[in-house]
Amino acid sequence: MPDFLLFGALKVRNRATLLQYAGNRGASEHTLPLLEVYSVAIQSFASARPYLTTDCEEVLLVLGRLVLSCFELLLSVPESEEQCEPLSRLFQSIQDSHNALLQFGDNSLEILADIAKEGVWKNPVMFKIISQQPVELEEVNKLIKREGPAFLQMRIKHLMKTNCIPQAAALSKLCKESTEISNISPFLQAYITCLCSMHPNEESIKEIAKVDCKEALDMICNLEAEGQDRTAFILCTTYLTQQLQNANVYCSWELTLFWSKLQRRIDPSLDSFLERCRQFGIIARTLQHLFFLIRVIQAEVSVSVIS
């Protein structure tokens, strides 16, 4: 059977299984029913692998997405359910399928196979990081190289989503400093976001100040787009304060404009806005900064008058 026909049949079969479980009562509220879906999907792919070639781009694409989706689901499994039967079956499917794929030189399931042996958060190095214990840099880089940026980003997002901010900060800091990651921007943003979420202290303000202003603006835009207005506001306020105190005018107009919009969105009171501008004016050390503050005041007062 041609690759595209067999692969199409495989996707239809997995889709039918997914729809069956998605339609079950409670499937949307619990992760356990979906474990069966991934067991079937991974087994089906391994069974079909002898008839597929890597010349078919969809083969690697779908397998990659399957692995990422399965990993994301595993992150959501509560610790109390780690010994449940559906999870044990999934881990067995992963191990068996990994062994089968290795016969074709395909190690796409290697990370999932390691997790099946160790547990999602029980790798010794990962456990030390999450527990904020001292860890050797060589061990960290080895772990980062093994897991790769995509899996690490998913870990950090899960930690932030579950309000494990100090743990997310520790992991993202190690990732942004690692030589094993070429694009550190997502990890830098995650780290700065964690610092802002933990309410900036003197140490975290120094860390934020190290960020290039254009990078800070990109982070603020990203946070705003993700609906994290308060975190974007904290970052913007912290960075703008640093610029005012240090007489740094690089990208200051954009920063001041962002700050004014976020301030009014979070606190619509014009009096509060004017008071914050007055406080900024007191610590400003350049005429340019004062001019920028006057411009946003004029813009907001004009809007209030028209309204």
> Mean pLDDT, the chain, as a whole number?
84
Q: HSE (CB half, 13 Å, CA atoms) of 213?
A: 16
Token pair belonging to 184 = 């550190």
> For position 307, what pLDDT does the model report?
52
Q: What is the pTM of this model?
A: 0.80
Mean pLDDT computed over 71-92? 82
| Interval 179-205: pLDDT, tens | 999 999 999 999 999 998 887 677 778
Give the residue with greater pLDDT, 24 vs 97: 97
**pLDDT above 90 (res 82):** no
Nearest to residue 64, comparing CAs of 45, 77, 47?
Answer: 45
d(CA 235, CA 119): 35
| Interval 112-157: pLDDT, tens | 999 888 888 989 999 999 998 999 999 999 999 999 999 999 999 9
